[in-house]
Amino acid sequence: MTDEKQIEVLRSNFRQHVGKCRKKLFELKEYGLCFRFNRLSINKIGCIKSVSKSVKNGFTPEQHFEAAENILDLFEYSKVVEQHYEKKPARCETHYLCVSQITDNVFAYINVVTWGTDEGYINLYLSREVE
């Protein structure tokens, strides 16, 4: 199976697995971070850019999607390490970079963009280092 076909199978399995999280409220009260998990989040996590970033950091696509299937747990146990604001023509966005430790030397970096009361999306990549 080619890498492209393999990634598409992994992406499809991931979408089925996390479908139960769709429209679920993701919240880190400590940081005032709140948004509804949506299709855009699923697409961002499964996109080639996110997978490639994990691969560049020494992980396989399988490891990327395996971690991504636990996105709710990773998010709930993450810490915000960076926050900034970005003004767009239609809205003002808040960008968060969260990190969640999976094992001693494996970290999930979770990018979250929010706007409005509970609108936003989430993205994820893996790293072996604290960045």
Residue 94 contacts residue 113 (beta carbons within 8 Å):
yes
Instruction: Return all residues near 1 (Cβ < 8 A) that are at least 6 apart.
Output: 9
Choose among 19, 24, 79, 67: nearest CA to 43: 19
Choose among 50, 61, 54: nearest CA to 13: 61
Mean pLDDT by 10 residues, the chain (131 residues): 84 94 94 94 96 96 96 96 94 96 94 92 92 68
pTM for this structure?
A: 0.90
What are residue 119's DSSP bridge partners? 115
* pLDDT value of residue 2: 57
Phi and psi at residue 55, to the nearest 5°: -65, -45
